[in-house]
Each structure stands twice: as structure tokens, then as C-alpha cells.
Structure 1
Amino acid sequence: MQGSKYGSTVGKNDCDDVGFAKACLVSGILDFNEFKQWIYHVIEIQKDVPLYFWDILDIENKFDFKPLSVMGFNPYWKHTKIEDYALEGIGYKRRDDFVSDAVPREKALKALEENPHIERRFRELFPFIDW
């Protein structure tokens, strides 16, 4: 994505950004409407977008989103366990009712504090989200 160091890795062979977005969706940090807003955002600012983005926009709810069948691959985000906990910390910061099976609130928020690059990445990848 122009103007951001994130957003250009949405293809099958370089899928870190779409993997990060998917991780946010799967863990409940993003709802499906926010995930689709991200798709629209990428379409607006990136010259070449994968065709599967249009297929995702046709999906009506999170439970019908099956990455392998829609995209032809399962996007991934290269990260450590602590970075995963930090990502969960964003969920706790965004929503009072956020629940994680992976990590308790205090541990997630501490991991986020110790890994501020995760919050920076979230804010850069999803600039349209206020919280």
C-alpha cells in the first residue's frame, strides 16, 4: 500500500499482511465488517489487488469465510507467541467484552506494552478503525 510499510503483502507468495488481518479476524480483534473494510481500503490504495479480494467481499459472514477455498491458500503471519499475545492485547484494549482463550487480559496487555510494533502495525494496516 502506498504511504505505508504495510499492506503490500497480500498475495499467495507474500501474504504477511493478509495473514495478520486474518489473525485479527479469527481471534475476534476485528469483526467481519471491519475485515471487509480493510479489503476495501486495500482496493482503494493499492494498484494491483488479488482477485480473491472480490470473492471475499461477496461473503456475508465470518463463518462462511474459508480462506483455503476462497483464496486458494491459507494466509499466515510470521510471528512469535509473545507477538500473538500482544495482538490479543489489542482485542482487550478495543473491547471491554473481549475474551481470549489464548491468554489472560493482564498477560496480553503486558505483551502488547512490550511489543509496541504490534499496535503500530494494527493502526497502520487498519487506519480507518478508531479506538
Structure 2
Amino acid sequence: MILNESGYFSDELMAFVLTCLFCEAISRDEFNAWCAQASSLNAAPAFLYDLMDFVPCWEHEKNDEYALYGIAVRRGFEPFDMPVTPSEALDSLKASPNIELLFGQVFDFIKL
């Protein structure tokens, strides 16, 4: 769930964003752009301060994480120490269209 019942970002969203960063599906500059965009929303300030006090957890299947590597490969990135081959990552992305959809919603300023 992107926003929780109160209209604030969920820890699951933050975990997804961090996983995208760690899988190199997004660059550090894109992560910073997302943070700037998120901080401009009314619901974001409390969430951003709360980040200091919790560990985000994104409930997902291992194939979903591999799909994020697929996004990185498709975007021309070469993630360091990727646990699957580029071909397997792209296959995982093809098998998980919901991850591409979620990525597009969260990072609407990035064209895939």
C-alpha cells in the first residue's frame, strides 16, 4: 500500500524505494529527486522524520526483487554483485508486471 490510512507514506513504500536503489533500478540522483518530490507533499514531512526511528520492510517475493534488477538492466545499468544473470533479471521482470507498474507509479518521473 503506497499510502496508509492516515494519508502518510507507508514503511512498505520506503522499503520498495530503498530496494530499487540497492538493486540499482534507480540512480542515487533519481533517489534524491524522489525524496525532493516526496518532501513537497503535505503528508511527507512527518514520514521523513520518522525514518530515523524505524526499519522499513517491503513484503515481496524474491522474484519481485529480481524484477527490480530487470528494470536496472533494461535501463542500461550494471548492478554490482547482481544475484541473477541479466537475462534472468529480465525474465523475472517479464514474469512480474506488477513490479513494473509499481515502479512506474512510485517513480513517475522516470521513463522505462
Instruction: Tell me the TM-score range normalised by the shorter chain.
Output: 0.7 to 0.9
Cα deviation for residue 47 of structure 1 reads 2.2
Match of 2:97 in 1: 116
Match of 1:40 in 2: 36
Please state if 1:25 is matched with 2:21: yes
TM-score by length of 1: 0.70
Distance in 2 (CA, whole Å) between partners of 1:20 and 1:96 is 18
Match of 1:77 in 2: 58
User: Which blocks of at least 5 consecutive residues in structure 1 are unaligned?
Assistant: 1-5, 55-69
Distance in 2 (CA, whole Å) between partners of 1:114 and 1:127 is 21
Cα deviation for residue 51 of structure 1 reads 3.9
RMSD: 2.4
Whether the 8 Å CA contact 2:25–2:77 is kept in 1: the answer is no
Deviations 1:28-60 (A, max 9, x none): 22222211111122223x322144637xxxxxx
TM-score by length of 2: 0.81
Cα deviation for residue 100 of structure 1 reads 4.5
The structure-2 alpha-carbon separation of the partners of 1:29 and 1:49, relative to structure 1 and needing over 3 Å to count, comes to same
Which residue identity does 1:72 align to in structure 2?
D
Match of 1:62 in 2: none
User: Which blocks of at least 5 consecutive residues in structure 2 are unaligned?
Assistant: none
The structure-2 alpha-carbon separation of the partners of 1:100 and 1:118, relative to structure 1 and needing over 3 Å to count, comes to farther
Whether the 8 Å CA contact 2:24–2:77 is kept in 1: the answer is no
Identity of aligned residues (%): 28
Match of 2:11 in 1: 15
- The ranges of structure 1 where at least 4 consecutive aligned residues each deviate by more than 6 angstroms after the TM superposition are none
- Equivalenced residue count is 109
Whether the 8 Å CA contact 1:52–1:71 is kept in 2: the answer is no
The structure-2 alpha-carbon separation of the partners of 1:84 and 1:105, relative to structure 1 and needing over 3 Å to count, comes to same
